[in-house]
Amino acid sequence: LLAHFSNMAIKRVGSLDDSLHNGSIPADEGIYGHPEPMIHNSVAKEKILQRRSLQLRQQQQDWKESSEGKKMLEFRRSLPAFKEKDAFLKVVSENQVIVISGETGCGKTTQLPQYILESEIEAGRGALCNIICTQPRRISAISVSERVAAEHGEKLGESVGYKVRLEGMRGRDTRLLFCTTGVLLRRLLVDRSLKGVTHVIVDEIHERGMNEDFLLIVLKDLLPRRPDLRLILMSATLNAELFSSYFDGAPTMHIPGFTFPVRAQFLEDILERTGYRLTPYNQIDDYGQEKSWKMQKQAQSFKKRKSQIASAVEDALEVADYKGYSLRTKESMSCWNPDSIGFNLIEHVLCHIVKNERPGAVLVFMTGWDDIHSLKDHLHAHPLLGDQSRVLLLACHGSMSSTEQKLIFENPEGGVRKIVLATNMAETSITINDVVFVVDCGKAKETSYDALNNTPCLLPSWISKAAARQRKGRAGRVQSGECYHLYPKCVYDAFDDYQLPELLRTPLQSLCLQIKSLQLGSISEFLSSALQPPEPLSVQNAVDYLKIIGALDENENLTVLGRKLSMLPVEPKLGKMLILGAIFNCLDPILTVVAGLSVRDPFVVPADKKDLAESAKGHFAAGAYSDHLALVRAYDGWKDAEAQQAGYEYCWRNFLSSQTLRAIDSLRKQFFNLLKDIGLVSNNSETNNKWSNEEHLLRAVICAGLFPGISSVVNKEKSIALKTMEDGPVLLYASSVNGSVPKIPYPWLVFNEKIKVNTVFLRDSTAISDSMLLLFGGNISKGGLDGHLKMLGGYLEFFMKPELAKTYSTLKRELEELIQKK
């Protein structure tokens, strides 16, 4: 097997090298950008462009005079942005960079790019302009482009189009393109000066996502080289000064908005009205005491994790004293749990609105997809809120389908109350017009990153004051509204003014790869020119990681692997797994593993059937000691069952979510296409899967991806002791199949994720052998064997396995001999 591996690997890596040296960046513009703009020098081409521009002008004129066009225009004129149209166009023509702020719904996203397009068309330059407007989310890029195309009186994909990862609607004549920030970044990868682009509009910059901050550094660097390029930064709630001074005092412009007054109520007010009361600890009964003790524990761990929130919040928490009060209804006991959002409280508020308040849609801000779905299930079971003749419950998040999306904007008939459960994407990027009531849980899921432990965590955190104001404002679109903030006023007072930028709270690995593939020089130097530069330690960790996995060489240059990874829009570890799955012809199961890690766990654990659910999952993992292989087996079983129309029953029996499995299924296809685009797989499924049944090989490939996420395993009398180099002793999540086995007959576990609560917990893991670790852990590329040994040496020493170092030397020699021979 080993001989086969090395043989295959070398052949494939060789072909990677070839494709690199031929400079063959895949031609598929489907991923890498945008069709080449029509800029040509020849006179004939010039004429075509002129003619096209005239046509566009005529078309625009006709539309504006049509009855439908007039109606549309009337609506557009009613938006606050319209009053600023001329001033806006003037500032754009006179300045290279401008910063625009304006209330959500005032028409920034749909109108401003359109004003530019229209004025260019009007000036007879329609066929020459090329406007790109970025959105932080796929779904907003799509929905906004649909809206703008309709306002412009065209079908989507003509003058107005969109492009998001793996999907798009635009043509040769598309002049205004809405895309995700990631798409523009990938275009910059192959076209560093944005040839032919006339305007770049970066929307929602207040979100300060990593991609947006990164894009700003690149654009800032590009502007002097492209004096004709215009950059427009837009957002609802932004710290305009910060952006303006970053771009050397660029002018700022504010669009005064219209919103109706919204009455804000904080927890203390809500409690009065919804039948809850705050009970000080010393007055609660036995059951309450047990809960209060739990709450104290939770509050402590919660406090520890809140390092990134100013200590003012901590003080406020003491004042508000989530620890000092228990939340209970008059009838039943129910706790305010700082880790969850208190479904019962939300349920209570919603009932109150449905029963007592005037008509109007309700928008509930939750932390994420999973919360939304569990709340939805919870509410479905409620006699009033689950009654479909009275309430329409909808979910709104980044991965909803387009049918779901349409329902959100529609008005239900027959006095049915629309309740939309949304993530923070409904804060600024989409506008649901009929919202009158907002329920704000006060939290959003954000990745935070602890540079000292090199541990990423995805946890609900308190939002900023800016976000809370924004949420509140959503209730005042069409009439005055009400906002229920489910936290005390003193907690609000202690929120940060703005959210910490993602660049400062997440690992930087993918970003570092992008910097290298864009040839932007030294990583640390580049990042030090960010709006708010990340800590040098975080940068160092990311660079070290990339060296360890073999994406960068000792001198911080991209390796062949690194270049391929930078072309895959997934985390480096997942990218590496995909690439190796392709190289080692075990593609199908690896696609499943990677898709599973990107979506979420399809195994569901209902609280009341925990044992049954765990044993169902354990059944899939029999003998595998791997959550990842359990997933592969479960998925394969589901596919077989689906083929016999028994998929649903299969999921039910095995505690699987068919929705998640379907999401995994679709993502697998997308990953396959990505690999095909960069020339790593053939269409021949048999070849791609020649070794797919070799579970040893699958373990090895999983190890290659997840290394250095590795823990040693020591089987004790009654338990298993695990330890990682960075954290010392660690524990497994109960949901891991390895969490419930009496022994693990392998010396190591590789894991995808560790989460720090009080102790460090490993989420899903796969058991691997010494040789898998030796051959696949870290940098396995041709030139890196010495570095590999050195790096692994540190691990082996730490885990006191010097004998492995010896084995390693032998293996290494054998491998080198093989390489020589081939």
Q: Which residues bind ligand CDP (CB under 6 A)?
A: 79, 102, 104-111, 143, 147, 431, 433
> What number of chain residues touch Mg ion (CB under 5 A)?
2
Of 156 and 520, which CB lies nearer to ligand CDP in the complex structure? 156
Of 342 and 481, which CB lies nearer to ligand CDP in the complex structure? 481
In the complex, minimum distance from the CB of residue 617 to ligand CDP, in angstroms, rounded to a whole number = 41
Among Mg ion, ligand CDP, none, partner that 105 touches (CB below 5 to 8 angstroms by kind)? ligand CDP
Of 80 and 460, which CB lies nearer to ligand CDP in the complex structure? 80
In the complex, minimum distance from the CB of residue 507 to Mg ion, in angstroms, rounded to a whole number = 29
Among Mg ion, ligand CDP, none, partner that 259 touches (CB below 5 to 8 angstroms by kind)? none
In the complex, minimum distance from the CB of residue 113 to ligand CDP, in angstroms, rounded to a whole number = 9
Of 104 and 517, which CB lies nearer to ligand CDP in the complex structure? 104
* Residue positions counted in the chain: 822
In the complex, minimum distance from the CB of residue 102 to Mg ion, in angstroms, rounded to a whole number = 9
**Within positions 373 to 412, which residues make up the interface with Mg ion, using CB under 5 A?**
none
Q: Which helix (H) or strand (E) holds 199?
A: strand 199-202
Of 73 and 333, which CB lies nearer to ligand CDP in the complex structure? 73
Laid out side by side, the sheet with 97-102 consists of: 167-169, 160-164, 176-180, 131-135, 199-202, 230-235, 97-102, 252-255
Of 108 and 564, which CB lies nearer to Mg ion in the complex structure? 108
For residues 738 and 728, what is the distance between their CA atoms, to the nearest angstrom?
A: 18
In the complex, minimum distance from the CB of residue 343 to ligand CDP, in angstroms, rounded to a whole number = 30
Check residue 692 and report its DSSP letter.
T
Among Mg ion, ligand CDP, none, partner that 681 touches (CB below 5 to 8 angstroms by kind)? none
8 Å CB contact between 363 and 474? yes
Among Mg ion, ligand CDP, none, partner that 506 touches (CB below 5 to 8 angstroms by kind)? none
The separation between the first and the last C-alpha atoms of the chain, rounded to the nearest angstrom, is 15
- What is the Cβ-side half-sphere exposure of residue 678, based on CA atoms within 13 angstroms? 27
Residue nearest to Mg ion (CB): 109
In the complex, minimum distance from the CB of residue 468 to Mg ion, in angstroms, rounded to a whole number = 19
Alpha helices in 522-677 (DSSP H): 523-528, 536-548, 560-567, 572-583, 587-598, 610-620, 627-643, 647-654, 658-677
Of 206 and 306, which CB lies nearer to ligand CDP in the complex structure? 206
Three-state SS for 163? Answer: strand
Phi then psi for residue 485, to 5 deg, are -90, 120
In the complex, minimum distance from the CB of residue 473 to Mg ion, in angstroms, rounded to a whole number = 13
In sequence order, the 6+-apart residues with CB closer than 8 A to the CB of 487 are: 266, 267, 320, 441, 442
Q: Which two tokens stand for residue 22?
A: 């031929």
Q: What is the β-pairing status of strands 276-280 and 443-450? A: unpaired
Residue type, 152: H
Cα 143-148-153 angle, rounded to 5 deg: 130
For residues 449 and 433, what is the distance between their CA atoms, to the nearest angstrom?
A: 36
Phi then psi for residue 558, to 5 deg, are -65, 135
8 Å CB contact between 437 and 357? yes
Q: Is the dihedral of CA 239, 441, 445, 481 positive or negative?
A: negative
* Axis-axis angle for helices 572-583, 2-21 (nearest 10): 110
Of 53 and 423, which CB lies nearer to Mg ion in the complex structure? 423
In the complex, minimum distance from the CB of residue 486 to ligand CDP, in angstroms, rounded to a whole number = 25
In the complex, minimum distance from the CB of residue 114 to ligand CDP, in angstroms, rounded to a whole number = 9
Cα 525-527-529 angle, rounded to 5 deg: 80
For residues 110 and 178, what is the distance between their CA atoms, to the nearest angstrom?
A: 10
Please write down the HEC assignment for all residues of 439-455. EECCEEEEEEEECCCCE
Residue type, 2: L
In the complex, minimum distance from the CB of residue 423 to ligand CDP, in angstroms, rounded to a whole number = 17
Among Mg ion, ligand CDP, none, partner that 106 touches (CB below 5 to 8 angstroms by kind)? ligand CDP
Of 140 and 711, which CB lies nearer to Mg ion in the complex structure? 140
Of 19 and 111, which CB lies nearer to ligand CDP in the complex structure? 111
Instruction: Indicate whether 134 belongs to the interface with Mg ion (CB under 5 A).
Output: no
Binding mask 99-118 for Mg ion (x = CB under 5 A): ---------xx---------
Name the nearest CA neighbour of 456 among 487, 502, 525, 391: 502
Of 422 and 702, which CB lies nearer to ligand CDP in the complex structure? 422
Q: Which residue has the tokens 């010495």?
A: 786
In the complex, minimum distance from the CB of residue 147 to ligand CDP, in angstroms, rounded to a whole number = 4
For residues 604 and 660, what is the distance between their CA atoms, to the nearest angstrom?
A: 10
Name the nearest CA neighbour of 423 among 402, 406, 444: 444
Binding mask 52-91 for Mg ion (x = CB under 5 A): ----------------------------------------
Q: Which helix (H) or strand (E) holds 271?
A: helix 267-274
Of 133 and 349, which CB lies nearer to ligand CDP in the complex structure? 133
In sequence order, the 6+-apart residues with CB closer than 8 A to the CB of 54 are: 124
Among Mg ion, ligand CDP, none, partner that 433 touches (CB below 5 to 8 angstroms by kind)? ligand CDP
Name the nearest CA neighbour of 496 among 308, 337, 364: 308
In the complex, minimum distance from the CB of residue 142 to Mg ion, in angstroms, rounded to a whole number = 14
**Cis check: omega of the bond before 708, within 30 degrees of 0:** yes
Of 101 and 654, which CB lies nearer to Mg ion in the complex structure? 101
Of 81 and 561, which CB lies nearer to Mg ion in the complex structure? 81
In the complex, minimum distance from the CB of residue 234 to Mg ion, in angstroms, rounded to a whole number = 7
In the complex, minimum distance from the CB of residue 789 to ligand CDP, in angstroms, rounded to a whole number = 55
Q: Outline where DSSP puts E strands in 359-478.
A: 361-365, 391-396, 417-422, 435-440, 443-450, 455-462
- What is the Cβ-side half-sphere exposure of residue 252, based on CA atoms within 13 angstroms? 18
In the complex, minimum distance from the CB of residue 100 to Mg ion, in angstroms, rounded to a whole number = 11
Of 201 and 520, which CB lies nearer to ligand CDP in the complex structure? 201
Among ligand CDP, Mg ion, none, partner that 111 touches (CB below 5 to 8 angstroms by kind)? ligand CDP
> Would you tell me which residues interact with Mg ion (CB under 5 A)?
108-109
